[in-house]
Structure 1
Amino acid sequence: MDVPSPPADAPPLVVDIDGTLTDESRAVDPRVFPVLHEWPAPVVVATGKSMPYPVALCDFVGIETVVIAENGGVVLVGRDTLRIEGDRAAADAVAAAYREAGYDLGWGEADLVNRWRETEVAVSLDSPLEPLADIAAEHGLEVVDTGFAYHVKSPAITKGTGLEAVAEELDLAPADFAAVGDSENDAATFERAGLSIAVANADETALAAAEYVTDARYADGFLEAVERIGTAR
């Protein structure tokens, strides 16, 4: 697919990373870099990953650092406004109980997936879900399947609440944004954004919540979504 130019009157954009800006192997497609760099309105990178990942993406793309990380648990606008909400202690208790029950988080000893997390714990999709969900519920938490990992998190915190916080900091409304994503954790963003687009590889929850669904998958779907955003204005 050819790389489209962002619409001159493009709205603020909130975009997921894994499965949306990437290929099937989760490598970021380099064709998205100029699109994000040239976007004429604020770009929010919203992800289930811990904060260093989206911050690095913003830095390397050359856009202002506006980030929703850990499924809304961490919100960073610029270098001075940082909001951290969630219950990492409860998530750690869930992880400890899960291990005591004979299960493993699945990331190896270095555990680079959780090393920098501040509000939740992520568990490999190769680990059993049912006992994890049961233990999380005992601690008042939920488990969200992002397609990359099972995230043990506060049910009150979502990418949608993160978008509300970012919009407030930018003196915008959530409905001012166009949102593009692929996963269950993007549905809360879709519900608040003025325009929501799921790429074709999205899960059933995201597909049901989106206003539009692209024909193309992964980063090709994002590039198609850019064209859709232009025609929807």
Structure 2
Amino acid sequence: MTAATPPLVLDIDGTLTDGSGRLDPRIFEYLPEWEAPLVLATGKAFPYPVTLCHFLQIDETVIAENGGVVLADGEVSYQGDPERAAEAVATFEERGGDLEWSGFDSINNWRETEIAASVSADLGLLRSVAAEYDLEVFDTGYAYHLKTPGVEKGVGLRAVADTLDLDPAEFVAVGDSINDASMFEVAGRSFAVANADDAAREAADAVVEGSYFDGTASVLDSL
């Protein structure tokens, strides 16, 4: 790593994708060439970012499930209470709630520290049940995440930095959503892409002109 090449932490959805949600093919040009540590951070289940690292042929360094699972230097660490989340969902469904994922639930099948519901689910009932179990519901704009309070991407970034023996302030972060705000607060520099929500825009040091990976690519080019 050179002084001109900082470590990165990049959100995936809305940041490495295009407007339709597909991965932008340019990530296969940009990311494998990065000369410093690169972390993929997502609200998705643990296997998703690990698989993306595999196909990018980069080190498997990830923050998954909004900080619930962290992998760095071959070490995995977990946050949160998945059993309590499962019990809360059972109560939610007993009271008529539905996670609203049709067919095979690939959203939660491999999730280890939290449970996610569709944004079409009954948010009022979900929040009520979560409170009974001392859990919180985090709305990323993509899904409602039922999780242990305090588990967030910023916590995950600190864990990654500690494992890699780096200062979190060395990292440059790029994201688009409220679940990136804590990551922005921990990183030394942070950028929100133009499609970012209000929370991400307010937390970021700068908002770039480009949306989706166009915006991310502009940050990488500038670095």
Shorter-chain TM-score category?
Answer: over 0.9
Residue of structure 2 equivalent to 1:3 = none
Shift of 1:8: 7.9
Tell me the matched-pair count: 222
Matched, 1:43 2:38: yes
2:65 to 45, 70, 87: 70
Residue of structure 1 equivalent to 2:192 = 198
Matched, 1:112 2:114: no
The answer on whether the counterparts of 1:8 and 1:40 sit within 8 Å (CA) in structure 2 is no
Residue of structure 1 equivalent to 2:52 = 57
Matched, 1:221 2:211: no
- Given residue 156 of structure 1, which amino acid in structure 2 is its aligned partner? G
Matched, 1:153 2:125: no
Q: Deviations over 1:116-158 (max 9, x none)?
A: 0110000001112122112112211111111211111111211
CA distance in 2: counterparts of 1:140 and 1:114, whole angstroms: 20
Matched, 1:132 2:126: yes
Query: RMSD across aligned C-alpha pairs, in angstroms?
Result: 1.3
TM-score by length of 1: 0.92
The answer on whether the counterparts of 1:144 and 1:184 sit within 8 Å (CA) in structure 2 is no
2:136 to 127, 139, 142: 142
- Given residue 104 of structure 2, which amino acid in structure 1 is its aligned partner? A
Secondary structure of the residue aligned to 1:35 is: helix
Identity %: 54
What are the residue-to-residue correspondences of 1:171-182 with 2, within 5 Å? 171-182=165-176
Residue of structure 2 equivalent to 1:14 = 9
Q: Deviations over 1:199-228 (max 9, x none)?
A: 111111111100010111111111122234
CA distance in 2: counterparts of 1:227 and 1:129, whole angstroms: 40
Residue of structure 2 equivalent to 1:167 = 161
CA distance in 1: counterparts of 2:172 and 2:102, whole angstroms: 37
The answer on whether the counterparts of 2:42 and 2:65 sit within 8 Å (CA) in structure 1 is yes
Secondary structure of the residue aligned to 2:87 is: helix
Runs of 4+ aligned residues of structure 1 deviating over 3 Å after TM superposition are: none
Residue of structure 2 equivalent to 1:84 = 78
TM-score by length of 2: 0.96
Q: In structure 1, list runs of 5 or more residues that go unmatched.
A: 1-6
* Segment of structure 1 superposing worse, 162-171 or 20-29: 20-29
CA distance in 1: counterparts of 2:86 and 2:103, whole angstroms: 16
The answer on whether the counterparts of 2:100 and 2:117 sit within 8 Å (CA) in structure 1 is yes
The answer on whether the counterparts of 1:9 and 1:40 sit within 8 Å (CA) in structure 2 is no
Secondary structure of the residue aligned to 1:172 is: coil
Secondary structure of the residue aligned to 1:15 is: strand
Secondary structure of the residue aligned to 1:82 is: strand
2:203 to 202, 205, 209: 209
Residue of structure 2 equivalent to 1:4 = none
Q: In structure 2, list runs of 5 or more residues that go unmatched.
A: none
